[in-house]
């Protein structure tokens, strides 16, 4: 496995593997610690390869536990500290782990599992002499590397299983796309380990000897500390959701003069707006801007594109890019037939990047995963898209299609047109249901580019008047609420769940 081979290789140098605030972990320490953890798991749990659970947020020692699990032939399941207690317990009950590495101050008290806290881990690392773990023990081909739990429509989280084969497929393609080499460099490691975009710094960054510059939860919650950390980071590759960059762009000093080495932005996880890209291009001239797209079920990203001025002047939204080179991406109609160029349909991915399915959940797995006649794994993304000149354009979720007063409406269509309205930075639109569980109207939450002295009502009137020029009246949200900023969830995405709670 390339990341494990690379850790061994860079352990012979003095390179730093990860930094968080004032603490560092070298590649030499990462190798030694991960070997010791692998040895501990192999000796204590013998042939039992049940996945381990890692509960915490950005502590440097989390990475040796992850790599130690892989070296012992086990998958890891990362749980962030922002997960509610009920979600944590649901996942633990689903996995039934033999061991939980707990990097928090709370005690989980799971009777069936051995709970290793931070002090216990230090004892393991201090007691054990240096060891070498044979790569015969490492995870292999179709064995799971990690399991990430995503929200399920039933309220029960779904565990997406990602194997070594899946990881290899993704990293071989995207490493080439990023044009990474083994020169020293710093890559932003802000995204929660429970969110798949964090795989980019871990499996591509460390595979090329980069330093992961970590931002923990406390840092992200204090904008001044956040900005100070970024200005002192020396990062040359930025990986995040668009939402974090939007927050940072509130600082006038967020620019090339203060983050001098930054040469590449990689965005994924949610819609990237033209307004944000224009702002960043002004502040970071000649910096590469990459828009990526992909479901967790197909390993992080399955398409990407470098954004240029032509895309910003185009009436269409920013494309999600060219398809991954070692997978097949098809756009199909409701009968599974490929549509013509320019026609909208569901995006389906086939190839080695596709997960084997949801952990211990065959019923839901069989609804969206399939195997082709050539024995390749496929996944129906549920996302609508179309091809134009070999480039894919995203059109929203199938399940974001609604019917209001007899009209079929796509929520993303409204959101994209709202973003064209003067002074609107970003927007989220929700359907509102009545007591009969039918959609009665739409509500839009909006963040402005520049705050003004107008009331919410007057701002809403101005926005609706401009929106009438772009979309039919039946698509215009009845209610428009102006916010100073959107709340973010642990993945760095706009917290739609929190906004929906405000509607109740």
8 A C-beta contact, residue 215 and residue 227: no
In a domain, residue 387? The reply is no
Q: What is this structure's pTM?
A: 0.85
Query: The domain spanning residue 484 has which CATH number?
Result: 3.30.300.30
Q: Are strands 211-214 and 237-240 parallel, antiparallel or unpaired?
A: unpaired
The residue written with tokens 């054990």 in the block is 128
Cα–Cα dist 491/193, whole Å: 8
Q: How many domains does the chain have?
A: 2
Q: Which helix (H) or strand (E) holds 122?
A: helix 118-127
Establish whether 496 is an annotated binding residue: no
Alpha carbon distance 31, 38 (integer Å): 10
The CATH number of the domain holding residue 158 is 3.40.50.12780
H or E element that contains 166 = helix 164-178
Q: Can you tell me whether residue 17 is helix, strand or coil?
A: strand
**Residue 313 marked as a ligand binder:** no
Q: Is residue 345 a known part of a binding site?
A: no
CA distances from 483 to 34, 280, 449, 454 (A): 45, 22, 11, 13
Please choose, from the candidates 165, 158, 201, 200, the residue with its C-alpha nearest in 3D space to the C-alpha of residue 358.
158
Any known ligand binding at 395? yes
Q: Where does a domain end: 244, 274, 293? A: 293
397 is in an annotated binding site: yes
Which residue range is the domain that position 424 belongs to? Answer: 405-503
Whether 130 has a binding-site annotation, put simply, is no
Residue 490, marked binder: no
286 annotated among ligand-binding-site residues:
no
Q: What angle is formed at CA 174 by the lines to CA 255 and CA 134, rounded to 5 degrees? A: 115
> Would the annotation count 8 as a binding residue?
no
Is 186 inside any structural domain? yes
Instruction: Give, as one character, the DSSP assignment of residue 406.
Output: T
Q: Was 493 annotated as part of a binding site? A: yes
Residue 300: closest CA among 154, 195, 413: 195
φ, ψ of residue 466 in degrees (nearest 5): -70, -35
* Bridge pairing between strands 377-388 and 345-351: antiparallel
Q: Does some domain include residue 477?
A: yes
Which of 137, 99, 140 is CA-nearest to residue 120?
99
Sequential pLDDT tens for the chain (504 residues): 999 999 999 999 999 999 998 899 999 999 999 999 999 999 999 889 999 999 999 999 999 999 999 999 999 999 998 887 888 888 999 999 999 999 998 888 788 899 999 999 999 998 767 788 999 999 999 999 999 998 665 557 899 999 999 999 999 999 999 999 999 999 999 999 999 999 999 999 999 999 999 999 999 888 889 988 999 899 999 999 988 998 898 888 899 999 999 999 999 988 898 989 999 999 999 999 999 999 999 999 999 999 999 999 998 989 999 999 999 999 999 999 999 999 999 999 999 999 999 999 999 999 999 999 999 999 999 999 999 999 999 988 887 767 776 676 878 889 988 998 989 999 999 988 877 667 888 999 999 988 898 999 999 999 999 998 888 788 899 999 999 999 988 777 888 888 988 776
Residue 16: enclosing H or E segment and its boundaries?
Answer: strand 16-20
Q: Give 3-state DSSP helix, strand, coil % of the chain, rounded to 5.
A: 35, 25, 40
Q: In terms of domains, do 415 and 289 share one?
A: no
Query: Can you tell me which residue has the tokens 């929520």?
Result: 411
End residue of a domain, out of 293, 312, 331: 293
Residue among 235, 213, 208, 201 at smallest CA distance from 7: 208
């Amino acid at each position: 496995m390339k990341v494990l081979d690379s850790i061994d290789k860079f352990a012979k140098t003095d390179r730093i593997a990860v930094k968080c605030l004032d603490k560092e972990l070298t590649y030499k320490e990462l190798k030694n610690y991960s070997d010791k953890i692998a040895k501990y798991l192999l000796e204590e749990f013998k042939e039992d390869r049940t996945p381990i659970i890692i509960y915490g947020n950005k502590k440097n020692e989390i990475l040796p536990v992850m790599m130690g699990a892989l070296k012992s032939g086990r998958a890891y399941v990362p749980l962030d500290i922002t997960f509610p207690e009920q979600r944590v317990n649901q996942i633990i009950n689903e996995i039934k782990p033999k061991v939980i590495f707990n990097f928090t101050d709370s005690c989980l008290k799971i009777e069936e599992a051995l709970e290793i806290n931070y002090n216990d881990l230090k004892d393991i690392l201090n007691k054990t002499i240096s060891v070498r773990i044979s790569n015969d023990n490492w995870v292999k081909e179709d064995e799971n590397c990690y399991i990430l739990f995503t929200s399920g429509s039933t309220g029960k989280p779904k565990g997406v299983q990602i194997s070594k084969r899946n990881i290899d497929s993704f990293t071989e393609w995207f490493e080439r796309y990023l044009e990474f080499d083994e020169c020293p460099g710093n890559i932003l490691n802000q995204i929660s380990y429970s969110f798949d975009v964090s795989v980019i710094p871990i499996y591509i960054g460390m595979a090329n000897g980069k330093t992961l510059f970590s931002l923990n939860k406390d840092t992200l919650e204090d904008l001044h500390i956040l900005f100070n950390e970024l200005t002192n980071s020396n990062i040359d590759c930025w990986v995040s959701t668009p939402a974090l960059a939007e927050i940072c762009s509130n600082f006038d000093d967020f620019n090339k003069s203060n983050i001098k080495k930054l040469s590449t932005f990689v965005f994924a996880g949610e819609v990237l707006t033209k307004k944000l890209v224009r702002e960043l291009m002004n502040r970071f001239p000649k910096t590469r801007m990459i828009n990526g797209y992909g479901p967790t079920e197909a390993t992080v990203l399955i398409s990407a594109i470098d954004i240029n001025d032509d895309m910003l002047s185009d009436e269409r939204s920013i494309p999600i890019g060219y398809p991954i080179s070692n997978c097949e991406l098809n756009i199909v109609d409701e009968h599974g037939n490929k549509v013509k160029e320019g026609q909208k349909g569901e995006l389906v991915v086939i190839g080695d990047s596709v997960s084997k399915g949801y952990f211990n959940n065959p019923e839901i797995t069989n609804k969206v995963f399939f195997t082709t006649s050539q024995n390749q794994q496929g996944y129906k993304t549920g996302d609508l898209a179309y091809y134009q000149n070999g480039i894919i354009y995203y059109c929203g979720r199938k399940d974001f299609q609604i019917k209001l007063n007899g009209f079929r409406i796509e929520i993303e269509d409204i959101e994209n047109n709202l973003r064209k309205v003067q002074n609107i930075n970003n927007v989220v639109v929700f359907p509102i249901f009545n007591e009969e569980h039918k959609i009665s109207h739409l509500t839009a939450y909006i963040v402005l580019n520049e705050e003004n002295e107008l009331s919410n009502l007057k701002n809403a009137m101005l926005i609706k008047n401009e929106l009438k020029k772009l979309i039919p009246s039946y698509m215009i949200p009845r209610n428009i609420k102006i916010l100073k900023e959107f709340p973010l969830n642990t993945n760095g995405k706009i917290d739609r769940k929190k906004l929906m709670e405000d509607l109740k």
